[in-house]
Amino acid sequence: MEPVLEAEGLVKRFGDREALRGVSLSVAPGELVGVIGPNGAGKTTLLSILAGSQRPDEGEVSRSPGEVGWVPQQAALYGKLTVEENLRLFARLEKCPDVGAAVDGMLEQTQLGDRRHSPVAELSGGNRQRVNIAIGLLPDPPVLLLDEPSTALDPRQRERLWEFILALSKGGTAVIYSTHNVAEAERYASQLAVLADGERLFSGSPAELEQTVGTSDLDFEEAFVRFLHDQGH
């Protein structure tokens, strides 16, 4: 299948520190890619470069920022505006051909129609994240980037969020998400990209990661930790 997004040899330096060291990635339509790794591994930097909000010092990304939906870790919304006003503003900035239809479509998709007139500041964390994602989906991108989307959500909100993301994936949208929650990576990702110290250590399915570690008596989280340890991290 033709990849919907490709990144080749991405390098990012902050002063003397190399946040990314030649990371490459290839994502197919509808694929769910989980980017995992310890703190400071370069997950957010990778997603920021794929989103176009940062430029790599080396390497390139196959798609322009306008072709990629991006949902930053913290909800990038205006608290004093309502759900609908936020969606309408970004739909206009995204130059959606039919702003009204795009907004209504997103309200329906996120099941926030009954909260359309609520100020975002009054929404729960889960609903706010759904609006955050909806804004990332407004230009109807073939690829959606989610930076730790379930952080600060309770289990019920997290479950609803993943239902929403899985539905997107089934609809053909490729989703790349970073997470600290290894269980979420195992459960939902079709492909894992393991980063540590800016380097990509592994690319493959969760099952392949377990096979790489080579023991069957460990759960996935233990296998992941063992993998990092074996790789010197």
Partner 1 sequence: MRWLFLKDLTILRRSPLLVALLVIYPIVISVLIGFALSAGPDKPKVAFVNEVPASENIINLGGEEVDVSKYADQIFESIDPVRVSSREEALKKVEDGEVLGALIIPADITDKLDSGLGSAQVEVIYNAEDPLKRDLVRNTIKSQVQDANAALTKRFTELAIRDLNTVLQGGTINFPIRGDVDILGLQKSREVLEQARDELPEDSPARPEIERVIQFAGLADFGLDLFPPEKVLAAVGEPIQPKLTEVEGGRTPLDAFAVAIAVTVSLMFVTLLLAAGTLAAEREENAFLRLVRGLVSKTGLLVEKIGLAAFCSLVVTLLMMCGLALFVGLDFGRAGFWVIALAAGALAFGAMGVAIGALTREVRAASLLAFMISLPIAFLAIVPSGAVSPALYDVIRVVSALFPFKPTLAALDAAINDAGSLTTPLLHLAALVAAFSLAARLALRRFV
Residue 48 Cβ, how far from partner 1 at the closest point, in Å? 8
Q: Nearer to partner 1 by C-beta: 55 or 156?
A: 55
Of 49, 65, 68, 47, the closest CA to residue 57 belongs to 49
Residue 20 Cβ, how far from partner 1 at the closest point, in Å? 16
Residue 211 Cβ, how far from partner 1 at the closest point, in Å? 38
Q: Nearer to partner 1 by C-beta: 92 or 229?
A: 92
Residue 110 Cβ, how far from partner 1 at the closest point, in Å? 17
Q: Nearer to partner 1 by C-beta: 144 or 213?
A: 144
Q: Which residue has tokens 């609803």?
A: 160
Instruction: Indicate the residue type of 177.
Output: Y
Q: Nearer to partner 1 by C-beta: 136 or 206?
A: 136
Residue 3 Cβ, how far from partner 1 at the closest point, in Å? 21
Q: Nearer to partner 1 by C-beta: 121 or 166?
A: 121
Q: Where on the chain is the footprint of partner 1 (CB under 8 A)?
A: 48, 51-54, 64-66, 70, 72, 74-81, 85, 89-90, 92-94, 135
Residue 29 Cβ, how far from partner 1 at the closest point, in Å? 22
SS (H, E, C) the chain: CCCCEEEEEEEEEECCEEEEEEEEEEECCCCEEEEECCCCCCHHHHHHHHHCCCCCCEEEECCCHHHEEEECCCCCCCCCCEHHHHHHHHHHHCCCCCHHHHHHHHHHHCCCHHHCCCEHHHCCHHHHHHHHHHHHHCCCCCEEEEECCCCCCCHHHHHHHHHHHHHHHHCCCEEEEECCCHHHHHHHCCEEEEEECCEEEEEECHHHHHHHHCCCCCCHHHHHHHHHHHCCC
Instruction: Indicate the residue type of 221.
Output: E
Q: Nearer to partner 1 by C-beta: 147 or 197?
A: 147
